[in-house]
Amino acid sequence: MALLNADIPPIYCQVRKEYLYDFKKHHGESEDCVVFGLTSMAGAATLFHIMLPNGAVFFRLPISAFFQKDFDRTKVPDMPVDTLQLWNSFSYYPSVHMFNYLTSQRGKYFGKDKKLYYGEYMFTIDWCHPESNILDTEHSEIPHEHKCGHVMALDNGNYSIQPNNRILWNISNFTTRDDIPDYKVQTTEWNVENKGWITEDTDKMFYKIEDK
C-alpha cells in the first residue's frame, strides 16, 4: 500500500504528444516514453508518470495518453479515457501487484461502448483504507462497491484498466467454457471473530474455546 503515488513495472511505450501540450498543439504526433509510476486520487482517473528522452518527467497523464511502442499511431484508435478505464480510483491508497497466475495471460473485456476488446495482462491496481483513525469516506472496503483495476495491453495498441466483472480471461489449460456467467455481487462482510465464542481465561498455550 502506498499513499498517493506508487511504483509500477516500467512500461516502454509511446505518449500521444498533444497530452504534453495541454491539447494545444502536436495533435496526431507521438514520442517515446517510459511509464514508471502512478497517482491515485479518490474521484479521479488513475494517472501515470513518465520519463521522456530529453530527461523530462511528466506527471499525471491518463491511460488514454499512451499506446504500445511497436505500433504506428495512425493505426491505433484514439479511445476515450472512460472507455479504457471504467471506474475512478477508489482511494488515495493504491496497491500495485503483478499476479504470477495472470502474467502473460490473455483476456477480453466488455467496454461501456458495448464492444469487446482483447489484450494481455500486465499488472493489477487495488485500493484500501489506511487505518481506523482516519475517517473512511470512500468505497474501497465496502464489499459490494469494491473494484480492482487490471491493466492490460490491448491488441489495438492501447492500454486499459478494467475490473474483474468486465474481464473474462483465457487460461488455455483451464478456461474451457465460453459462457458469460450470471454471478451475483458479493455483499457479505466476512468476520471469524463475531460468532459467539470465548477463549479459556488461563495462561495455557493450548487454551479451550467454548460457546458463550
Return the percentage of the chain with pLDDT > 90, whole number. Answer: 71
User: Could you report the per-residue pLDDT of 136-170, keeping only the tens digit for each?
Assistant: 888 877 777 889 999 999 999 999 999 999 999 99
Find cell 495533435 and name the residue.
Answer: 27
Task: Based on DSSP, count helices (H) and strands (E) in the chain, helices before strands.
Answer: 1, 13
In this predicted structure, what is the pLDDT of residue 178?
Answer: 84
Residue 61: which H helix or E strand, with range?
A: strand 57-62
**C-alpha dihedral sign at 158, 139, 102, 9:** positive
In this predicted structure, what is the pLDDT of residue 190?
Answer: 84
How many Å separate Cα 121 from the centre of its chain? 11
Asked if the model's pLDDT at residue 195 lies above 80, the reply is: no
User: Could you report the per-residue pLDDT of 2-34, keeping only the tens digit for each?
Assistant: 999 999 999 999 999 999 999 999 999 999 999
Asked if the model's pLDDT at residue 51 lies above 90, the reply is: yes
Residue type, 130: P
- What does pTM read for this prediction? 0.90
In this predicted structure, what is the pLDDT of residue 166?
Answer: 94
Q: How confident is the model at residue 86 (pLDDT cuts 50, 70, 90)?
A: very high
Nearest alpha carbon to residue 7 among 115, 100, 97, 138: 97
Query: 182 to each of 149, 164, 185, how far by Cα in Å?
Result: 21, 13, 10
Q: What is the CA radius of gyration of the chain?
A: 21
Average model confidence (pLDDT) across the chain: 93
In this predicted structure, what is the pLDDT of residue 145?
Answer: 80
Q: Furthest-apart CA pair in the chain: how many Å?
A: 74
In this predicted structure, what is the pLDDT of residue 43?
Answer: 92
Contact predicate 105/120, CB 8 Å = yes
How much is the average pLDDT of 167-181? 90
Return the percentage of the chain with pLDDT > 70, whole number. Answer: 100
Range name among 71-75, 80-84, 204-208 with the lowest pLDDT average: 204-208
In this predicted structure, what is the pLDDT of residue 85?
Answer: 98
